[in-house]
C-alpha cells in the first residue's frame, strides 16, 4: 500500500480529494490536516510515501524550500495541491500537481505517475554511499543483533534503526540479512570471525 498524507487548509478540498483517492486500491490515506503545527510530527510518526500539500499553507517566502523542511525523509514524494496561483519556481519541487479543476481521471493519473516513480526507485539500488551510522547498523546486523539490540548498542531508537535499515536496503539493493552480511564482509566493514 502507498501511504498518502494530505495537508490542505480547506476541509472541503481535503475531504473531496480523500474520497477521490480512496478509489485507488493501492492507496491508504494515513492522515489529513489543515495546519503546519502537527504536520512534521505526524509525518515523522506515520511515514507516508506521498504528501499532497497545498503550498498556501506556507507563507510566500518559505514556499521555495518546502522540501528542505522534510529532509529527514528523503524518500517522501510531494504532490502540489494547487487551488490558486502559485509561482512556477515553487512548483518545481513537486513530483506532480493536482489542480482545483482536475477531474477524477486526472487526479488518479497524477497519483499513479508518482506511485510508479516510487516503485521504480524501490526496484533500483541507490548509488549513494552508506552513511557512517548506516555502516554501524549494518555491522550490528551482520553480527546477528536484532533491532532493539542495535538500538541499545548505538543509543538510538528502534524507529531510527528501522529507518537506517530501509536506507541500507535502498542504497545496496540487498534485502536479506545474510546477503547484507556478505556485502559487509566484501566492503571490509566486518571480518568473518566477527560473525556469530
CATH fold for the domain made of 132-194? Arc Repressor Mutant, subunit A (1.10.10)
Instruction: Encode pLDDT of 21-62 as tens digits.
Output: 888 888 899 999 988 888 888 888 888 999 999 888 888 777
CA dist., res. 19 & res. 109, Å (int): 15
CATH 1.10.10.10 location in the chain: 132-194
pLDDT bracket for residue 79 (50, 70, 90): very high
Per the CB < 8 A criterion, the answer to whether 46 and 34 are in contact is no
Name 79's bridge partners.
52, 96
**Average pLDDT of the chain, as a whole number:** 85
Instruction: Give the CA count within 13 Å in the CB-facing half-sphere of 180.
Output: 25
Q: Indicate the pTM of the whole model.
A: 0.59
Flag whether pLDDT at 119 surpasses 70: no
CATH 3.40.50.2300 location in the chain: 2-123
2-123 has which CATH code?
A: 3.40.50.2300
Instruction: Encode pLDDT of 104-114 as tens digits.
Output: 888 888 888 88
Amino acid at each position: 500500500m502507498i501511504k498518502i498524507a494530505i495537508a490542505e487548509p480547506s476541509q472541503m478540498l481535503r475531504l473531496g480529494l480523500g474520497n477521490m483517492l480512496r478509489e485507488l486500491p493501492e492507496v491508504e490515506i494515513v492522515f489529513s490536516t489543515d495546519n503546519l503545527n502537527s504536520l512534521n510530527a505526524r509525518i515523522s510518526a506515520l511515514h507516508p510515501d506521498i504528501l499532497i500539500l497545498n503550498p498556501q499553507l506556507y507563507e510566500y517566502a518559505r514556499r521555495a524550500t518546502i522540501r528542505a523542511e522534510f529532509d529527514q525523509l528523503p524518500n517522501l514524494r510531494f504532490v502540489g495541491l494547487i487551488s490558486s496561483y502559485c509561482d512556477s519556481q515553487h512548483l518545481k519541487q513537486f513530483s506532480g500537481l493536482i489542480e482545483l479543476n482536475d477531474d477524477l481521471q486526472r487526479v488518479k493519473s497524477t497519483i499513479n505517475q508518482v506511485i510508479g516513480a516510487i516503485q521504480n526507485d524501490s526496484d533500483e539500488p541507490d548509488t549513494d554511499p552508506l552513511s557512517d551510522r548506516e555502516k554501524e547498523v549494518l555491522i550490528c546486523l551482520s553480527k546477528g543483533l536484532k533491532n532493539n539490540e542495535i538500538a541499545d548498542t548505538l543509543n538510538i531508537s528502534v524507529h531510527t534503526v528501522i529507518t537506517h535499515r530501509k536506507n541500507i536496503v535502498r542504497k545496496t539493493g540487498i534485502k536479506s540479512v545474510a546477503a547484507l552480511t556478505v556485502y559487509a564482509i566484501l566492503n571490509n566493514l566486518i571480518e568473518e570471525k566477527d560473525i556469530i
